[in-house]
Structure 1
Amino acid sequence: MKSDGNTLLLAAALSCSLAALAHLGCIVFGGDCYRFLGAGEQMAQMADQGLWYPTMVTSTIVAVLLIWTLYALSGAGVIRRLPLTRYILIAIAAVFLARGAAFVSLMPLFPENSLTFWIVSSGICLFIGGLFSVGTFQQWSSLGSRVA
């Protein structure tokens, strides 16, 4: 499919794929990578012990980020139109923006995550959410209201 040249959605796709790669690094490199990325000592220790929980949680995040990468590429016109592209791009933007804005409320739920983790990851989420938001707005008319 011919690209519509939406650089913001392309940047959103690149950002999601890099985030997926960083999370994949945690699975591959284990506890030290979880520690480096600020995920908390409990997750790092579980990974070091070979427990399934960190791998499953992180694998789920990787899968979601890769699906979101595909939707950004679809919205940018790089790949074929995926089902509900317009609406899913809105939802993705909302999730990133909500995650970025709500970090103060989320911090007590994950007390082992460092303040640096919360500030950096929330800033990244706000940035990616902005890319999805503005990129989707720019593509709105070309995305159409059709389902596929």
Structure 2
Amino acid sequence: MNSASIALTVSGAALAIAALLHFACIFVGAPGYRLLGAGDQIVLAVQAGDFRPHLSAGFVGGALLLCSWYAIAGAGHFKSPPLQQFVLYTVSLLLLARAILFPLLKPHFPGNSGTFWLVSSTACGILGALLLYGAFNRPTIHGA
């Protein structure tokens, strides 16, 4: 397995774990959201029976799982899905943007903890870099 495949496999596995954590919040409820750094506003909404935090967590979890599939397929473990290279580049750039722009995003989500922002932004930066490296260096694209 070459370094690009390793980068895509690792990032795909990490994206799958992130997806599972989002899905776990739906099943665990308010304590799960609090553990992962959601603010009091979200936790109180879940405790009050509001379904919107669950919809958000489900949507994000689904998107992360889809990205995981693309990354793992990019590593050669599955058949290539449609628009694979475009999706890999797009997701890597979105993750890198999320990591870099968190100081601008943070004021719009005042309930999230500082730890949440640092951990999630660092994870997004690392995953974005791994995906970008893997996508750019895939042997099937550059003929290596």
Identity %: 34
Which residue of structure 2 aligns with residue 23 of structure 1? 22
Offset of 1:4 from its aligned partner? 6.7
What is the CA deviation profile of residues 85-114 of structure 1, one whole-angstrom value per residue up to 9, with x for unaligned ones? 011100000010000111000010001111
Which residue of structure 2 aligns with residue 128 of structure 1? 127
Q: How many residues align?
A: 141
Equivalent-residue separation in structure 2 for 1:60 and 1:134 (angstroms): 26
Offset of 1:143 from its aligned partner? 3.6
What is the CA deviation profile of residues 30-83 of structure 1, one whole-angstrom value per residue up to 9, with x for unaligned ones? 111111111111111111122110110000001100100110011111100111
* Gap regions ≥5 residues in structure 2: none
Which residue of structure 2 aligns with residue 47 of structure 1? 46
Which residue of structure 2 aligns with residue 9 of structure 1? 8
Q: Which secondary structure state, in structure 2, belongs to the residue aligned with residue 51 of structure 1? A: coil
RMSD: 1.4
Which residue of structure 2 aligns with residue 58 of structure 1? 57
Which residue of structure 2 aligns with residue 111 of structure 1? 110
Counterpart of 1:52, as a letter, is F
Equivalent-residue separation in structure 2 for 1:106 and 1:34 (angstroms): 19
Equivalent-residue separation in structure 2 for 1:107 and 1:124 (angstroms): 16
* Gap regions ≥5 residues in structure 1: none
Structure 1 ranges of 4+ moved more than 4 A: none
Equivalent-residue separation in structure 1 for 2:2 and 2:85 (angstroms): 15
